[in-house]
Amino acid sequence: MNDEAEVIVATRAFGMVCTSRTCGFVFHHDISDSVDSYYQEMGRAGRDGEKALAILFYCPDDLKIRRFLASSDQVDAEEVEQVAAVVQKQDEPIKRRDLREQTGLSQAKVATALNRLEEVGVVEMLATGEVVESEQPPEVSEAAQERYQQYMRSASLVS
């Protein structure tokens, strides 16, 4: 950290806090979780204004792992609609735990569905952690699904 070492081998977490201005190269052992992450990680090199080098070592199978991890909490339009329907039936805010119980979906799927619904303005997350309905047209779950697919395409995680 005092620019005394010529080479530092680090995890991503440590590498991200590396503030050395004399880093001339960054070698990645595997693929980052997103293009934004990779951009931040490779940005460690060249902070001194000198030429720098960033190299990524990977094999095509590494992409399969990233795609699997990215899709592990995916929900389909039907599941998004299911969560929206339960929220819409409520007369008062509902807790996520109750949503899980009423839909039979996992915690990750409920969270993902709520995030998509919130992005398109169907639900509102309260400071208490509870969820309430917002005013939106009925085709919102499709809009939420499309927005998520656009995000995944822009993050280069799916083709």
Per residue in 124-155, pLDDT (tens digit) is 888 888 999 876 555 555 666 676 666 666 65
Q: pTM of the entire structure? A: 0.46
**Residue-wise DSSP of 37-103:** HHHHHHTTTTTTSS--EEEE---HHHHHHHHHHHHTT---HHHHHHHHHHHHH-SS-B-HHHHHHHH
Give me the percent of the chain exceeding a pLDDT of 70. Answer: 68
The mean pLDDT of the chain is 76
CA–CA separation, 36 vs 56, rounded Å? 14
Q: Average of pLDDT values for 34-53?
A: 80
In the chain the domains, ranked by start, together with CATH numbers, are: 12-58 (3.40.50.300), 77-154 (1.10.10.10)
Kindly give, in sequence order, each residue whose CB lies less than 8 Å from that of residue 78, ignoring residues fewer than 6 positions away: none
Q: Is 33 a residue whose pLDDT tops 60?
A: yes
- Residue 131 parent element (H or E): strand 131-133
Which is more confident, 82 or 115?
A: 82
In this prediction, residue 102 has a pLDDT band, given cuts at 50, 70 and 90, of very high
